Amino acid sequence: MQNVLTFSLSIFLMVFTQQISVAQPIHQMPTLGYSYDALEPYIDGQTMEIHFSKHHQAYLTNLNKALNGTKAEKLPLELLLLGAERRGAAIRNNGGGHYNHTLFWSILSPNPEKSPSGKLADDIHKTFTSVDSLKKLLNNGASTRFGSGWVWLYVTPEKKLAVCSTPNQDNPIMDAAKENRGIPILGIDVWEHAYYLKYQNKRGDYLGAIWNVIDWSKVGMLYENALKDPLLKDIEKDDWTALKEFHLVMAQTFHPMEEGKLEPIKTRSGEMLEKAQILAKSKVPTTFKSDAITKALTDLVDGSAKLDKLIKKKGKDDKIKESLTKLHDTFHVIQGLCSDDH
């Protein structure tokens, strides 16, 4: 009997330890849908192998290392990138590196659709007049990018097509991209590691050749997906700096108050009013414009003014608590309306 128990226990421990040891990190390498030499003669097999199995792999390994045990570990990659600048260099460079290369491999193909079709083709014609002029814009962005980086065709929060280039492993999802934010649907890697073995210093030759392996049917699919992706709204909201700044003061005064500490709001009510006024005057992102938001912004200024006045005349703590709670509710009308689809 004891043997049976010991045996069962050791089986259990074996299975249990195995489960621990095979626990996978959240972020994983994609599968390359073709062999390393499948894109020859345009991109050579050795470049592809080193690029995928060494460069991309290193970004992924370092991303998982940077995230290990942190609160950000479980966030989807896109939401990590959204705040890349504030999250620091390790997440920005390696998260960007992982996202950018995953996108890059997915739009390359040994049997590509050589020109866009459907809605993508229509919208390229509307925005850039022709596919050729779009390619020219992208190639120009790529050849004038000093040092390492990427050139992108991306979808803006207003659902327009646009072109930009970013340094290093940045991309348009990131806060770091400033006025060029959106969801990328086509990216060209212009780091030397992407072309140097075959093209050496001739970046222009690489840029000429790569169009032979870019699959427009894949870019078209990414376009359709991007147009309905809630990430566009997240980007737009993340770009609403005045909202973020008000939110910060609110968070740093309201939460202490919940724990009975009124000192933060008593010292910062003037700042809160000022941030509310800036927020009310700021440009409301197009997709958030509504009568409800306009009203909430006015209420936020009125509420902040009342609270500030109450504190300046040394009002009772109960009244201050009541006033701040009401202001917090008003703020969440804006926050709530902004994030209703997430």
Which residue ranges make up the site for Mn ion (CB under 5 A)?
189, 191, 194
3-state secondary structure of 55: helix
Separation between Cα atoms, residue 95 and residue 97, nearest integer Å = 5
Q: How far is the CB of 33 from Mn ion (least distance, A)?
A: 17
Report the nearest approach of Mn ion to the CB of residue 144 (Å): 18
Cis peptide before 30 (omega within 30 of 0): no
Q: Which is nearer to Mn ion, 186 or 194 (CB)?
A: 194
Closer of 189 and 238 to Mn ion (Cβ)? 189
Least separation, in Å, of the C-beta of 113 and Mn ion? 23
DSSP string across 283-321: ---GGG--HHHHHHHHHHHHHHHHHHHHHHTT--HHHHH
Return the number of the residue (189 or 234) whose C-beta is nearest Mn ion: 189
Nearer to Mn ion, 191 or 246 (CB): 191
Comparison of 77 and 121: residue with beta carbon closer to Mn ion: 77
Of the pair 168, 287, the CB lying nearest Mn ion is at 168
Closest residue by beta carbon to Mn ion: 189
Length of the chain counted residue by residue: 342
Nearer CB in complex with Mn ion: 48/307 = 48
Closest CA to 56 of 28, 76, 87, 92: 28
Q: Which of 107, 113, 138, 152 is nearest to 208 (CA)?
A: 138
Nearest-approach distance from CB 60 to Mn ion, in angstroms = 12
341 is written with which tokens?
Answer: 């689809």
- For 176-216, the DSSP string reads GGTTS-SEEEEEEE-SGGGTHHHHTT-HHHHHHHHTTSB-H
Q: Is 164 exposed, middle or buried (0-12, 13-18, 19+ CB in 10 A)?
A: buried
Q: What's the min distance (Å) between Cβ of 24 and Mn ion?
A: 24
**How far from 22 is each of 16, 17, 18, 150, CA to CA, in Å?**
10, 9, 6, 35
Within the chain, how many helices (H) and strands (E) appear? 16, 3
Tell the smallest beta-carbon distance from residue 165 to Mn ion (Å): 14
Least distance (Å) between residue 341 CB and Mn ion: 33
